Amino acid sequence: MSSAAPHTHWPRVVTTAVGLVAVVAVVVLAFLWPSVTAEPKDLPVAAVADPAVVAQVQAGLDQNAEGAVTLVPVADRDAAVDLVESRDAYGALVLGQQPEVLTASAASPAVAQLLTGLQPALQAQVDAAATAQGAPAEAVPSVTVTDVVPLSPDDPNGSILAASSFPLLLGGMVGGIAISLAVVGVWRRVAALGVYSVVGGLTIAGILHALGGLHGGYLTDSLAVGLALLAIGGTIVGAVAVLGRPGIAVGPVLFMLVANPISAAAVPVEFLLSPWGAVGQWFPPGAAATLLRDLSYFPGADATFPWLVLAGWAALGLLLALVGHFRDRGAATAAALREADDVAPAAEPVGVAR
């Protein structure tokens, strides 16, 4: 007489269901929290004016939105443009005989819109000053708005560039997890990851160029994309080499739940609660988003930091793979292990790293 099929104990059923709800809640919170709490804070904006005028304008800005904008005094318009093109300022206010608002929609459409919104208030100040001096109406200068670093007509809202960070994150995770499951042997995994990163970098950069999302040099953009895939996927492969199957969780937890929400891919770093925006730049999703934006629109910006961050995470993955060199099976699937057993030389034990 056959015995009844075993069933999971009820306490475990309940705890599993509640635990899954907790995980989903964390995921929802991680993705929605940055957008809900995002607000401008200490946005650097250049100001061309006498110190007294700069202080007066700063006080006026603080009355409308305290702490949102920090004015950085510069000597002239050229100096202001240099700060914008090097991504040291999001825009500039040029006050004087030819008042002007400088924006950079390529840096952030949201900040460009914010600065453009200052034009009416500045025009009112100019009109009031001219009236007080008795100047005729035709002599009152108009405050113009100039987009110093505009977005490409192929991506006028910057949506393709902003959205490209998530496919890179997903691509790095999928590559790292799939290679860990399908390939047996630490060095074979590292080799597979290298091929995946190179081919993936060339392919994804080509797609983003074709769609109008990237506008830097194709090979340089391909290198940046490939390094991002290597940084994310390599960390997962290295974690699997050290931890075995639990190492697969590194990707979803570290990169998806922690790094992606604070990557500032769609909003400026200053929009996120301090210090999380800055912290996000130390992870591959944030570094890759910043690097690709710099390569496309800000060739004069210093991109050393994001390059180093991506290279550092890639090196970390290789180091972890070296540490776990003798755990060649790791999280590989049963099918991958059987295939490795079938092709392994008779004199070579299957458990030896290859």
Query: What is d(CA 73, CA 54) in angstroms, rounded to the nearest whole number?
Result: 7
Q: Please tell me the predicted confidence (pLDDT) of residue 2.
A: 53
CA distances from 136 to 123, 130, 142, 174, 278 (A): 15, 8, 13, 67, 49
CA distances from 81 to 108, 149, 197 (A): 16, 9, 36
Q: Which two tokens stand for residue 15?
A: 């705890």
At a CB cut-off of 8 Å and minimum separation 6, what does 170 contact? Answer: none
**Cα separation of the two ends of the chain:** 49
pLDDT single digits (tens) 12-36 = 888 989 988 887 887 777 777 777 7
Torsion angle defined by CA atoms of residues 136, 139, 143 and 145, in that order, rounded to the nearest 10 degrees: 150
Query: What is d(CA 294, CA 123) in angstroms, rounded to the nearest whole number?
Result: 32
**Mean pLDDT taken over the chain:** 86
Percent over 70 (pLDDT), the chain:
88
Q: Which long-range contacts (CB under 8 A, 24 or more apart) does 152-159 make?
A: 152/212, 152/215, 152/296, 154/211, 154/212, 154/213, 155/211, 155/212, 155/213, 157/109, 158/105, 158/106, 158/109
Query: What is d(CA 94, CA 76) in angstroms, rounded to the nearest whole number?
Result: 8
- Provide the pLDDT confidence category of residue 199 given band limits of 50, 70 and 90: very high
- Provide the pLDDT confidence category of residue 354 given band limits of 50, 70 and 90: very low
Mean pLDDT throughout 266-287? 91
Count the Cβ atoms, other than its own, within 10 Å of residue 77: 18
Alpha helices (H) along the chain: 10-37, 51-64, 77-85, 109-116, 119-132, 159-163, 165-182, 186-211, 218-243, 250, 276-280, 284-297, 304-323, 334-343
Q: Are 277 and 301 in contact (CB under 8 A)?
A: no
Helices 186-211/304-323 angle, 10° precision: 150
- Provide the pLDDT confidence category of residue 342 given band limits of 50, 70 and 90: low
pLDDT single digits (tens) 124-172 = 877 777 777 766 766 678 889 999 999 999 999 989 998 888 899 999 9
DSSP secondary structure, 65-107, as one string: STTSEEEEE-SSHHHHHHHHHTTS-S-EEE-SSS-EEEE-TTT
Mean pLDDT throughout 69-85? 93
User: Using the 8-state DSSP alphabet, how is residue 44 labeled?
Assistant: E
Domain ranges in the chain? 43-147, 159-333
CA distances from 37 to 71, 122, 287 (A): 23, 28, 21
Higher pLDDT, 322 or 135: 322
Flag whether pLDDT at 329 surpasses 70: no
Mean pLDDT throughout 246-250? 87
pLDDT single digits (tens) 88-114 = 999 999 987 888 999 999 999 999 999
pLDDT single digits (tens) 233-246 = 999 999 998 888 88
